[in-house]
Amino acid sequence: MTDSKTTTLPRHRELGLSDEDVLGMYRAMLLARAVDERMWLMQRAGKIAFIISGQGHEGAQVASAWPMRKGHDWMAPYYRSIASAMTFGMSVEDIITAHLAKGDDVSSGGRQMPGHYGGARYNLVSLSSPVGTQVLHAVGIAMGAWVRGDDVVTMTQFGEGTANQGEIHEAMNFAGVHRLPVIFVCENNGYAISVPVDRQVAGGSVSARAAGYGMPGVDVDGGDVLACYAAAQEAHERARRGEGPTLIEAHVVRLTSHSSDDDQRRYRDPAEVEALKERDPIPRFAGELRDAGILTDELEEKLRAEVKAEVNEASKRAEARPEPDASEAHERVYAEPISGGGTAEPLEPLPGEGH
């Protein structure tokens, strides 16, 4: 863990971040939280069938995605990556549109459940539901960049439960063998749905496993935004210098139940759930920015008003977007018409047909 009280200069300046940068990070966290909370309201109102939340993860996510170059680097997210996806390019409207499963949602055109982030235009890889598969895609993208000699860094995120999948081992081992330019971010919130980390992770540490793959394993307090940024920034530089992958384990809190279909009161002590609020990264980062003299009551109020207005506006626009057209549900199964001509299977029209 990083001790946040040992520096004399404001920490962000030591890390090369300006006041605008850290306020931007704080605003990104507020925005992700506000969108997340709006999604829950919409779910309760019956507009969205299902929600899987990133609340409590915003600090680690905004900070780790912050060094990534938008539209240049790549990211393979997971289902709690709302704040990273937004930091990496998805707009508020993109996120809400995807949750509403509208026809022009950039992630899937209404084909996937909420929380399956993706966007080709943002180099944000489309996510599926079996956990951990995306980590191999990140490694494959990094392999592609390495083969071609491109200065591209890929980041992927996953939970500590997923860290136990065999594919994670395969991915980290391969990345370690070839020193691929990839950053693994494990967001450890202590629970894989209902099963606590001591029943999931032998030895208790995901980052310790990095040693076995010949890469640095960085254990970081996921509520300490600047510590997360420092870890990600160093990992990004290492990757660009050709020194290979880094595994970052960020200890975060899951402020909500696993999803809208779960009730964590069934398996977590009420006192434990109540205590999580103390570890919410948003008030903590706000306090740090206030101590550094960057954030004032006035500015806080202004930021929150802006964020609220942005979410309101984006929600209105998203709700007005067209629903998917079921007559197109058979399209875009294959990327191109079958070569040879005239031989398509009758029950499976090809892309481009039916327009």
Partner 1 sequence: MAELNILEAIRGAMDEEMERDERVMVLGEDVGRKGGVFGATEGLWAKYGDKRVLDTPLTEGMIAGAAMGAAVYGLRPVAEMQFADFVYPAFNQIVSEISRIHYRSNGTFTAPMVIRMPYGGGVHGALYHSQSNEGYFTSTVGLKVVAPGTPADAKGLLKAAIRDQDPVMFFEHKKTYRLFKAEVPDGDVVVPIGKAQVAREGTHLSIFCYGYMRTCALEAAETLAREDGVEAEIVDLRTLRPLDTETILASVAKTGRALVVHEANRFGGFGAEVAATIAEQAFEDLDGPVTRLAGPEVPGVPYHHSLEDWFMISPARIVAAARKLASY
Q: Contact residues for partner 1 (CB under 8 A)? A: 74, 76, 105-112, 116, 118-121, 125-126, 128-130, 133, 136-148, 166-167, 170-171, 173-174, 177, 331-336, 338-346, 348, 351
Looking at beta carbons only, is 64 or 154 nearer to partner 1? Answer: 154
Question: Which helix (H) or strand (E) covers residue 159, if one does?
Answer: strand 154-159
Helices (H) and strands (E) in the chain, counts: 11, 7
Looking at beta carbons only, is 13 or 330 nearer to partner 1? Answer: 330
In order of 23, 46, 106, 303, the CA distances from 314 in angstroms are 22, 18, 14, 16
301 Cβ neighbours under 8 A, 6+ residues apart: none
- What letters, b where the CB count within 10 A reaches 16 and e where it falls short, cover 28-54? bbbbbbbbbebbeebbeeeebeebbbb
Looking at beta carbons only, is 245 or 281 nearer to partner 1? Answer: 245
- Distance of closest approach, residue 84 Cβ to partner 1, in angstroms: 18
- Distance of closest approach, residue 324 Cβ to partner 1, in angstroms: 9
Looking at beta carbons only, is 2 or 165 nearer to partner 1? Answer: 165
- Distance of closest approach, residue 173 Cβ to partner 1, in angstroms: 6
Q: Both tokens of residue 322?
A: 């067209």
- Distance of closest approach, residue 136 Cβ to partner 1, in angstroms: 3
Looking at beta carbons only, is 46 or 341 nearer to partner 1? Answer: 341
Looking at beta carbons only, is 30 or 125 nearer to partner 1? Answer: 125
- Distance of closest approach, residue 30 Cβ to partner 1, in angstroms: 29
> Measured between alpha carbons, how far is 135 from 175 in angstroms, rounded to an integer?
10
Residue tagged 């605008």 (tokens): 20
- Distance of closest approach, residue 99 Cβ to partner 1, in angstroms: 15
For residue 307, the SS3 value is helix
